[in-house]
Structure 1
Amino acid sequence: MTSLSPIPSFDDLKITFQEYSLVSPSHEKTQPKSIFLSNIDQILDYNIPTAHFFKRNPDFPPQIVAEKLKIALRRVLVPYDFMAGMLELNPQTGRLEIDCNGAGAGFVVASSEISLDEMGDCLIHPNLGYRQLAVEKLENLAHDDKPLCVFQITSFKCGGFAIGMSTNHIILDGMGAKAFMENLASQAFDDEPLAVVPCNNRRLLSARSPPQVAFPHHEYLDLNLPTGEGSRPPVYDCNREELNFRIFKLNPTDITNLKVKAKSATNENTKISTFKVAAALMWRCHAFSGDLGHKKDEYSTILTSINLRSRVNPQLPLSYSGNGVLPIGISATFDDLEKGPFSRLVELISNRINDMTYEYAKSAFDWLEVHRGVPHGDYLIASWLGLGFDQVEYPWGKPIYSCPIVNHRKDICWIFRDAVDDGVAAMVALPAEEMVRFEALFYEFLGC
């Protein structure tokens, strides 16, 4: 994977790994248990890595931070006992569950030969080298013993450090991860209570019995898999292949201009957000960067994940730990994508997001109960906007930068806040020829 980004890139942070260990909860549970996983939890069996950077703090050198972080992790794994468990397949139901066996979370200590200053502008943009900051498995464990989450502290030559976290998506979504990091930070202080009380009851999003599918759910693909004994849920993942990596930036002026274009013909009640205009632009670019043989009346479909916490009844707590999200599909013809008004794409995105009502969400969980399918679309455009990982207060301060880490997925575009000018940036990974076309289309569509 090579970078086409004009932003200077560090591909190798010159990392030395010093410790691999497992951290168990600070006290054992007396009653072993298995945790129910919702139908959206079931299919997200892949890892999401993130990195959080901290400047040098003379009161908290990296070795002290590593000790405090390990103690905090032991404490927080009591209310988050499932994060120290292992996935297991219930052979009777064909469903995945979490065995809360206290096996532990991974803990890695590493060091880099470079300083944060040497990285310059690279620091505040995702880089290929950041993959070294959040390993997915421990070298001293067999593959089948891979923990559901691994935490890594990497010290830099300057005394600054990074905390990396690689978690199986089954156990946390973005908001759940933010709540977890707030609680981890709270436990790094002496005698502090949890920042928020986690809600670990995933049955709040269980399917109805019997299922009642009330809407068409074209955002899922029915794989016609067997259910029950001997079956296993599908995984929403993709094949690994050689990809190029690129960060596409939208400064505040770009965003303002896109919102003006979006407002020109949209319904006056349509809320025009930064995410919607950025997603519409990325959709246009992706639609014409791949297969060039599409007919103008064929459809392109993107997916975006909708937070359900305020959309269900009763509302889920903000600290809900499972995946309190569902994808929704938005479709347009290739002719509309190329020649139609930008405002129409933004309106389509807005209307479909509004379609995610409580009744629609219940129907989606029931559809997944019946069909055991996976999300299906040409491109998933996911938002990091508003998650606020960089606002988490640790004893050693807030992160100076937090970001998702480049992974092998070409079917996901991450949109996140740009730390340079308060604009936004989109992280894209595509095969080389597609990336060249995507880049050309980005500047063409942005300027038209």
Structure 2
Amino acid sequence: MGIICEEPPSLLQDLKITIQNVSLVFPSQQTERKSMFLSNIDKVLNFPVETVHFFPSHKDFPPHLVAEKLKNTLARLLVPYDFLAGRLRSNPETGRLEIDCNAAGIGFAVASSEYTMDSLGDLVYPNPAFGQLIVKRMDNLKQDDQPLCIVQVTSFTCGGFAMGMFTNHVTFDGLSFKIFLDNLGALAADKPLAVIPCNDRELLAARSPPCVSFPHLELAKFVDSNVNPPVFDATSEALDFKVFRLTSGNIAHLKEKAKASGGTHKDARITGFNVVTALVWRCKALSWDEETTQGSNNNADRESTLLYAVNIRPRLIPPLPRSYTGNAVLTAYATAKCKEIEEWPFSRLVEMVSEGAKRMTDEYARSAIDWGEIYQGFPNGEFLVSSWWKLGFDEVDYPWGRPRYSCPVVFHRKDIILLFPDIDENNGVNVLVSLPSKEMSKFQSLFLNYLA
């Protein structure tokens, strides 16, 4: 049985943060002034990403020394990552979004909290107050001069500290951000770069002329190309949120369930991600509140479309370098009627999920990129599974040790379900779900019953 957080624990609402200093960090050497092309994938992901990395106290690295070392290290890192010190702009000739690599710098803040790290409670449980560990904008700069990255070091009274990072998603996807952190740790330890970054975003440029060779059910056209398309529309509904914790034993149980119901569905890749995502899809689809539809029996015939991101680096011909710094993820999908999702054996749901990634060949990926060139589209589905589970942010080696925990600062959305690692068990996973109260009750009942 998975460990379910029945109700959100008592969470600190105010971390009592004092910002002591805010400054800009510039590249330590002169970098070339140039414009960086952004791919159609990058352009859609023009929104902020916030992560917090918690570190226990270290006798040789008190927080003030860490802050000083990080600031110096970031200046050196902005040489190979020169685009990070640039600014977003629209090309005056084409109107296309790009990065002006103008060495304008990234933000850096030093802060302190009146609490110990242990006073924060369960670090795994998403606390909106963790947003106080991140500076989101530089108040002394104009809107069009805001940095693409801001780092905040917050010390706690126990000697531990948090490194909060604000980045624009156009700069990195999860895999390239992990490499950026690896390089940050390496330079801070006076070692060479762990991986030399590949900054050539032209590698994911659309073909000329564009050639859309597949139907892209996972994408929707965006009519007004002058406005940045939303990835999903926010809802004004009141939402409950819960974390469903799955142990490695729970995940093994789901894998066995998929094998046991295998029958003719032997092509399913029975991975941890696929079985957890299949379970989440089933629970989400069947927890739909029928009162919101026109009639009580509509949910059975309603189509539910699951979306999730697939790394296309190894899928292209030739493969993209692992060191590619931009966004090299595209949206995979699975879609079925709710009555099918309810009646199918679990293996079939796992197969449907695995087919989404299997569909992502070189030609399919190029077709999706070309589709974006024509239609300026964005992902389209009932909900998105966003997985931070295996990114390994808490495995980065810094001179002061690895993080106790690394996590996104989440905002609760009914159309985004988040998978993130457990703090105590490497192979466990936490599933963050936000739903209206009635749907949450159904989701939880379905989730528990399926694990029984």
Aligned runs of 1:41-440 on 2, under 5 Å? 41-120=42-121, 122-190=122-190, 192-225=191-224, 231-239=226-234, 241=236, 243-266=239-262, 267-292=265-290, 293=293, 294-422=298-426, 423-440=428-445
Displacement of 1:145? 2.8
Give the direction of change, closer, same or farther, for the CA distance of 1:57–1:268 in structure 2 (3 Å limit).
same
Q: Deviation string for 1:48-68 (max 9, x for gaps)?
A: 111111110011000000000
AA aligned opposite 1:435: M
Native 8 Å contact 2:149 2:165 kept in 1: yes
Give TM-score scaled by structure 2 length.
0.92
Cα distance in 1 between the residues matched to 2:284 and 2:85 = 38
AA aligned opposite 1:215: F
Q: 2:13 aligns with which of 8, 11, 14?
A: 11
Overall identity of the aligned pairs, in %: 50
Cα distance in 1 between the residues matched to 2:100 and 2:361 = 32
Q: Deviation string for 1:221-251 (max 9, x for gaps)?
A: 012345xxxx455342433645443211111
Cα distance in 2 between the residues matched to 1:436 and 1:110 = 40
Moved more, 267-276 or 428-437: 428-437
Cα distance in 1 between the residues matched to 2:166 and 2:325 = 16
Give TM-score scaled by structure 1 length.
0.92
Give the direction of change, closer, same or farther, for the CA distance of 1:244–1:18 in structure 2 (3 Å limit).
farther
Cα distance in 2 between the residues matched to 1:246 and 1:145 = 38
Cα distance in 2 between the residues matched to 1:348 and 1:280 = 8
Cα distance in 2 between the residues matched to 1:365 and 1:32 = 27
Q: Deviation string for 1:392-430 (max 9, x for gaps)?
A: 111111111111221254322121221223411112233
Structure 2 match to 1:446: 451
AA aligned opposite 1:239: A
Native 8 Å contact 1:124 1:419 kept in 2: yes
Displacement of 1:304? 0.6
Q: Deviation string for 1:38-97 (max 9, x for gaps)?
A: 001011111111111111001100000000000011110111111111111124323100
Aligned-pair Cα RMSD in Å: 2.0
Native 8 Å contact 1:10 1:119 kept in 2: yes
Cα distance in 2 between the residues matched to 1:240 and 1:146 = 27
Cα distance in 2 between the residues matched to 1:369 and 1:136 = 30
Cα distance in 2 between the residues matched to 1:366 and 1:68 = 43
Displacement of 1:433? 4.4
- Structure 1 alignment gaps of length 5 or more: none
Displacement of 1:263? 1.4
Give the direction of change, closer, same or farther, for the CA distance of 1:249–1:269 in structure 2 (3 Å limit).
same
Q: Deviation string for 1:246-284 (max 9, x for gaps)?
A: 211111221121111111233334221111111112112
Cα distance in 1 between the residues matched to 2:62 and 2:250 = 40
Cα distance in 1 between the residues matched to 2:12 and 2:368 = 42
- Structure 2 alignment gaps of length 5 or more: none
Native 8 Å contact 1:45 1:236 kept in 2: no
Give the direction of change, closer, same or farther, for the CA distance of 1:145–1:327 in structure 2 (3 Å limit).
same
Aligned runs of 1:27-46 on 2, under 5 Å? 27-29=29-31, 31-46=32-47
Partner secondary structure for residue 323 of structure 1? coil
Cα distance in 2 between the residues matched to 1:11 and 1:288 = 34
AA aligned opposite 1:430: L
Q: Deviation string for 1:425-444 (max 9, x for gaps)?
A: 11223344443443333323
Give the direction of change, closer, same or farther, for the CA distance of 1:37–1:388 in structure 2 (3 Å limit).
same
Give the direction of change, closer, same or farther, for the CA distance of 1:202–1:314 in structure 2 (3 Å limit).
same
Native 8 Å contact 1:307 1:324 kept in 2: yes
Native 8 Å contact 1:89 1:232 kept in 2: no
Give the direction of change, closer, same or farther, for the CA distance of 1:352–1:11 in structure 2 (3 Å limit).
same
AA aligned opposite 1:282: V
Give the direction of change, closer, same or farther, for the CA distance of 1:151–1:430 in structure 2 (3 Å limit).
farther
Cα distance in 1 between the residues matched to 2:436 and 2:150 = 29
AA aligned opposite 2:450: F
Displacement of 1:9? 3.3
Cα distance in 2 between the residues matched to 1:145 and 1:170 = 16
AA aligned opposite 2:440: M
Q: What number of residue pairs does the alignment pair up?
A: 438
Cα distance in 2 between the residues matched to 1:26 and 1:240 = 44
Give the direction of change, closer, same or farther, for the CA distance of 1:232–1:6 in structure 2 (3 Å limit).
closer
